[in-house]
Structure 1
């Protein structure tokens, strides 16, 4: 019987590689699933297709449109969960493990889709604030972020075949950069199933996503400095990639997220009668057994106060003994298998190295009690707990990682000592400290921060809602220094910027307004014959501007605002002795000046397309306003943002940012702000 081949999706077509390929096995029962090969694929053509087809298609869309695309894709994938779960069981994952991989990955799409509200309606975006470069304001600078014109090549690990793909493509797609996904062969059949659903949906434009299901071949030798390579996997392979001459010589960006020796710390303050004690036991057990320990963030080193070592050992071994292992399709099973027999072989080799200086206090290296499964056919192992009583003088626990359900318990004698121990891993993705003492948490976090990419402080107040030690979150960076690879991925806008090129631009404010589609301070406005508030969203132009009439500020105004607001700060009172203060006499409230400014620029006499005031950003008061001063406002349309409907019946609208400059009768700035309004669209 001919073995089914896992296919590659390249250059717009599903293609099987040449030759017999590498056989892929069901991790639970050893059945052959298929074979994978990339032999015969033209890697240069694959990358060029992404650059020439995928890139232009994505760059033709705005950030907002790309965000809606991600959201639509996430919704579509949620409608196909059952076949994903059915296939995921073959990787040895339980329902809970698969949930993290599949629905956690889809959650990444939703989270990154939400960034569209912060990135605007262009295919590019501004980065930071404008920079004045001349005294008069006639010359300025800014930074622009534009999508790179290359391809993102994602080399993913075998442990999360769905999450590993979706967490990466969510970021490059919203940035406007196409990608080639290269999953690890051992579980690539699950990645292929998800990609088929993605491609069949038609939600992504042509060339945005390609799949290479197998060995990468010479694909890296066809990259350029405009491409981005990301890697998730072992520190050893990450080091190998760093030495790739082509990547180095062609200045190709490389982001590495490598497996690391993450640690969890029990605070000195925690005693068996405190809720944090059980939180610690539960979290350690979960981190050892979830995904059968095959997580880059899994806890490999457990540090506890020396005087609590015996009690923790007793409770941890009891908790681990309750773990049921076997066929993940059996509802009573809590831990499945490793991803394959080869992974089991490597895992046992590494555990043997750890046992050179540590003792096994729970579990077995060679045998495992199973439910509804055969230990000879499936890649099952026992969860193991090791003990090392001299961690400061032992090499192995801080340098050897066994990628599976094993961790080493170690004592410490002081907070300074455990900070030192945490750093002996030479760079980790994450660490956790379980403590109810804020001082302990502060000292540990600040002391250990430089060697970790993320630190979780866990106590009884947040435990119920905490995502846990091993859960990277899409809006926080995921990565770490040193052994962990030195890279960052995800992290909200930080992650998106990996795929954007930053360019400094200089010119007049008027010219840069035209270039950026965002009004720049001191730029020329467009004089409006009709009030901007009478225009629909589509009708408004960036730079639409009015200059208001003047209003005289009186002592009575200030007194009445003080009474109305309850703000009787001394500087707003007439009878204050102002000697030794910053003011010469009674001064107007800043918020009164802003309110009076609104009274000048708001067109309030009849219903208009402005639905409501949405907020105020960057409000600054730059000069005191005394009674007898006349103020006026220059009011300019700064930026327009799309606003999604939550319900079909909602009013179709957008968000408009207005640049508000308040002047006194000497034409000096007394205040500046950006206000936001919801503005109705004309076409319903």
Structure 2
């Protein structure tokens, strides 16, 4: 019998009452562990987090809470080797892809620790965040209104996706804990092992107050039913599930604050005026291939549509396809393998189904089926080669603008002029990120602003930042992560802006003596 991963709720480790859901190695097909949350006292666990964890966190200042994050980061850093082993076994990722998740999570946690220290320094001796200057309410200046931000007196339920079990945990938990709000994390079942182990290591190290951080694995019924008016819900996943969450009574009746990061058909755009031998063209090709293959394309920020001038359609297809042909796919334990597996058989079938759908609207420019698997049985392993599609009818290919295949798949689309390119990019109906490639600073700036209203982030790559840009798909804690419309309408990270979700704003109307006490 494989290991049963316990839940940490109510300040103690608890096993579920059922048989549990198995977690598999997506390459070898072997069962690794089981998770189960049946029979848990969810009401008691949520109450413990609110009353015990929340009170303990709020009793600390921002500097002290920043210290907790720094201590947690040290615990994680000491256990990195184990996390890499878990990621290889449970997510099927090569070491470089595991680093995006594991080291990216530790980096985000450490960054918020430093931000919290700087915030505390800027506050002087105050313990309360002020929002703007005090405002006079009448002719007499004695009585004024001062807006303040105070930690929400609830719990943050964080429901994460399967693709980033490490980073997904800490990019939500870090700003919540720094704000003084306890966290209950619900990882996606398929890859819950890494999340559970990270929480276990931090809990057992005793660096956080009891109830500050909890984890519930498996699929517990009634989890959302526990949410109360001052709680918060942060979700990463499909738009369909997001719609169900928004319609839940806890959200619709209790006005539970919700942040959603959902489906996104992201794009990369090469501006006019570039030649096939230009540096901007080469940068586009390099980034498209990277985004298609990192984590086997299982990134919410991955490039799905590639827009190029009509005259460069063939050149782009050839250049991207040539680089994809060199990608080795298979068992991530083998040094020569560059791209590992999808996380599960269900995900493999979803990618195959989505690819078949896209092929009704586009032609195959590079066929992933031609990649022989290295040290992996095609009948067992959840591996699929990178596939590049293309169509010369960018306007008529509605499926390409509406369908996100969550795997190593992208489509090349030609445009007539800049206005046409921008209009095509916006057909994603709201995206997490678009990246622009070119050498004309004025044109790049104009295009970036033109796309800003429909994208959470616009990543601009010119030759001058060829060696320093952080990558189209890399979510940095200093910038917001989210997007309007189809992408969910939410915002995470963005430096200290992330704390706004976990604070409540109130106007204190009082005289000067009282305001000085805030």
TM-score by length of 2: 0.97
Does structure 2 retain, via aligned residues, the 8 Å contact 1:61–1:123? no
Following the alignment from structure 2 to structure 1, what is the Cα–Cα distance between the partners of residues 114 and 330?
39
Correspondence for 1:291 among 289, 292, 295: 295
Deviates more, 1:128-137 or 1:67-76: 128-137
**Counterparts in 2 of 1:128-527, with a 5 A limit?**
128-135=132-139, 137-364=141-368, 368-514=371-517, 516=518
1:224-279 C-alpha deviation (Å, 9 max, x unpaired): 12100010011221122122233111111110001200000011122123211211
Deviation at 1:216, TM superposition (A): 4.1
Q: Does 1:7 align with 2:18?
A: no
Structure 1 stretches of 4+ with a deviation exceeding 6 A read: none
Does structure 2 retain, via aligned residues, the 8 Å contact 1:182–1:216? no
SS in 1 for 2:272: coil
Does structure 2 retain, via aligned residues, the 8 Å contact 1:123–1:146? no
Following the alignment from structure 2 to structure 1, what is the Cα–Cα distance between the partners of residues 266 and 327?
22
SS in 2 for 1:396: helix
Change (3 A) 1:217 1:123: farther
- Specify every segment of 5 or more residues in structure 1 that has no aligned partner in the other structure, as ranges: 517-684
1:102-150 C-alpha deviation (Å, 9 max, x unpaired): 0100111111112222243555311122223345532222111111110
SS in 1 for 2:112: helix
1:160-198 C-alpha deviation (Å, 9 max, x unpaired): 000000111001000000010000000001111111111
SS in 2 for 1:479: strand
Deviation at 1:74, TM superposition (A): 1.1
Following the alignment from structure 2 to structure 1, what is the Cα–Cα distance between the partners of residues 85 and 332?
11
SS in 2 for 1:254: strand
Partner of residue 50, structure 1: 49
Does structure 1 retain, via aligned residues, the 8 Å contact 2:38–2:220? no
Does structure 1 retain, via aligned residues, the 8 Å contact 2:156–2:184? yes
Change (3 A) 1:122 1:72: farther
1:596-634 C-alpha deviation (Å, 9 max, x unpaired): xxxxxxxxxxxxxxxxxxxxxxxxxxxxxxxxxxxxxxx
SS in 2 for 1:61: coil
Deviates more, 1:177-186 or 1:440-449: 440-449
Does structure 2 retain, via aligned residues, the 8 Å contact 1:180–1:211? yes
Does structure 2 retain, via aligned residues, the 8 Å contact 1:93–1:328? yes
RMSD over aligned CA atoms reads 1.3
Deviation at 1:303, TM superposition (A): 0.5
Following the alignment from structure 2 to structure 1, what is the Cα–Cα distance between the partners of residues 328 and 371?
10
1:400-456 C-alpha deviation (Å, 9 max, x unpaired): 111100001100011000111001011100000001112221221122221110001
Partner of residue 108, structure 1: 108
Q: Does 1:87 align with 2:91?
A: no
SS in 2 for 1:347: helix
Deviation at 1:76, TM superposition (A): 2.2
Does structure 2 retain, via aligned residues, the 8 Å contact 1:112–1:174? yes
1:485-518 C-alpha deviation (Å, 9 max, x unpaired): 000111122111100011101111122102x1xx
Does structure 2 retain, via aligned residues, the 8 Å contact 1:358–1:387? yes
Does structure 2 retain, via aligned residues, the 8 Å contact 1:398–1:425? yes
Following the alignment from structure 2 to structure 1, what is the Cα–Cα distance between the partners of residues 303 and 220?
30
Does structure 2 retain, via aligned residues, the 8 Å contact 1:181–1:210? yes
Does structure 2 retain, via aligned residues, the 8 Å contact 1:344–1:380? yes
1:554-574 C-alpha deviation (Å, 9 max, x unpaired): xxxxxxxxxxxxxxxxxxxxx
Does structure 2 retain, via aligned residues, the 8 Å contact 1:259–1:297? no
Number of aligned residues = 513
Partner of residue 127, structure 1: 131
Following the alignment from structure 1 to structure 2, what is the Cα–Cα distance between the partners of residues 317 and 128?
53
TM-score by length of 1: 0.74
Deviation at 1:207, TM superposition (A): 0.5
Deviation at 1:4, TM superposition (A): 2.2
SS in 2 for 1:391: coil
Partner of residue 98, structure 1: 98
SS in 2 for 1:407: strand
SS in 2 for 1:48: helix
SS in 2 for 1:333: coil
Does structure 1 retain, via aligned residues, the 8 Å contact 2:391–2:413? yes
